[in-house]
Structure 1
């Protein structure tokens, strides 16, 4: 399932270079699943709430190694497109889809700030937290809406801070992801993804649960059971493993200050008026 360019990249990289890799570049080498917050549960929840119309094209911006696009395609008959800026990750995604026998998904190379698609082309545009890695959040959101069909849905799953993190921690995460990491809030992202022609129809907030060192180690073990990593020289394999573990532990600490939300904005929703007497779900009530 591993492509020749990826194997060549692994063979060429040195141990000292591995120690300086940012998370995105490391993911492309080790084929880390890089799933959205909440994993497959989030993807399935989005599909449950949006119910894409048959035959319409669906887009994921920031598909990385393919987890979300493949998960979507495995549940619907619609043609699914994953778009990512990293050609190595794209190649991983294609191989993974082919190995799973998922033939209604394709992967394109491109930038979320300038999507290579026609206006109104997609029924659903899904973006996890990829927008936060871009230097112009509003430009990216405008592109998402440009390619979104009438009565289509923009599904965003942004990560934001519920409480302010220590500055040293924020800076370490910023270096790890090789992108600016401003302290954003849920309100900020709702504002970014809002559009004059769209209605926020779903807002589901979640908070992260801290993971034990043992659970993180077990997850790293699962990543490194892949044949292309097992075959690496021990020194290189140890360096890759140590770098991935560092990122997981760092992100786990950072996420203790953070949360994420499933946000669904429907374009040209026929009933856009606000609700006067709002309500909330009763949790734990008897039948």
Structure 2
């Protein structure tokens, strides 16, 4: 399917049969359903990044892998600054732009492009946000090099990578790999901390989180919410059923996989003036009594 000539999810669905829909990978189903595709932790993660990064008013912000726009729109809704979402899927970009317009968010723009070859000048953005999109790219090092290329002096890269806390069964790993349509490495937290590290860059925040298993009832309820969107109302019932079936399959599979996973909110600052490590480490105090 040539998505370059397709403007909307409805047009894309028109070109597919129910059988073809049942063979699509997760990213394509997201584009067809306009699934929110939020980062791990949802809006709370986005707001935590803003608390930690404290972007300067008016300075440009970029999200790499904006998909259907959830994070870019959330960022723009809190900032007095221009926000750009970059994604390679024109259908998702079109939906994201429409969603922002309907919400009255006028400081966000969605650009078509590849995170490994971004169409931006050097040192353009004060904050670059990437959720788990780097895992979907073929060359992690090249992509991260691009993130830093477009960061300004004193800029912050906010990454929210998903990683394995314990090794999954090979059968599960391979099933997830097939679902996402790209090679899936069994990486741990240290892999991503090392990958995002670079000369002249300081890790200034690192907050790890665990996932909570979801019930089948909750997953099915979420599938129903996603597939009740207006652009699906006029679609043939068998196509909507195929989309519903595919989403439920992915969510159940991912929920099992995430039981082996964690994620972290990591902030890396370029040119941090105080890069020295802390000698006497601390932690939040526990309640005590005299």
Same fold (TM over 0.5): yes
Rounded Cα–Cα distance in structure 1 between residues aligned with 2:185 and 2:148: 24
Shift of residue 4 of structure 1? 5.4
Identify unmatched segments of 5+ residues in structure 1.
Answer: none
Alignment partner of 1:132 is 2:121: no
- In the TM superposition, 1:66-85 aligns within 5 A as 66-85=69-88
In structure 1, the residue matched to 2:14 is 11
Instruction: Give the secondary structure class of the aligned counterpart of 1:37.
Output: coil
Q: Out of 223, 228, 244, which is 1:241 matched to?
A: 244
Instruction: Give the secondary structure class of the aligned counterpart of 1:149.
Output: strand
Rounded Cα–Cα distance in structure 2 between residues aligned with 1:7 and 1:132: 28
Rounded Cα–Cα distance in structure 2 between residues aligned with 1:6 and 1:238: 16
Rounded Cα–Cα distance in structure 2 between residues aligned with 1:57 and 1:282: 37
Identify unmatched segments of 5+ residues in structure 2.
Answer: 1-5
RMSD: 1.3
- In the TM superposition, 1:45-194 aligns within 5 A as 45-194=48-197
Q: Out of 182, 202, 217, which is 1:199 matched to?
A: 202
What TM-score results when the alignment is normalised by the length of structure 2? 0.96
In structure 2, the residue matched to 1:253 is 256
Identify if the C-alpha distance between structure 1 residues 213 and 282 changes in structure 2 by more than 3 Å, giving closer, same or farther: farther
Shift of residue 268 of structure 1? 0.6
Shift of residue 229 of structure 1? 1.5
**2:39/2:132 contact within 8 Å kept:** yes
Runs of 4+ more than 3 Å apart: none
What TM-score results when the alignment is normalised by the length of structure 1? 0.97
In structure 1, the residue matched to 2:279 is 276
1:10-56 CA distances to partner (integer Å, 9 max, x unpaired)?
Answer: 12210110110000000000000000000000000000111111111
Identify if the C-alpha distance between structure 1 residues 145 and 4 changes in structure 2 by more than 3 Å, giving closer, same or farther: closer
In structure 2, the residue matched to 1:230 is 233
Count, aligned residues: 284
Rounded Cα–Cα distance in structure 2 between residues aligned with 1:183 and 1:54: 39
Rounded Cα–Cα distance in structure 2 between residues aligned with 1:265 and 1:228: 39
Rounded Cα–Cα distance in structure 2 between residues aligned with 1:151 and 1:243: 43
Shift of residue 286 of structure 1? 7.0
Rounded Cα–Cα distance in structure 2 between residues aligned with 1:161 and 1:282: 29
- In the TM superposition, 1:215-226 aligns within 5 A as 215-226=218-229
Instruction: Give the secondary structure class of the aligned counterpart of 1:164.
Output: coil
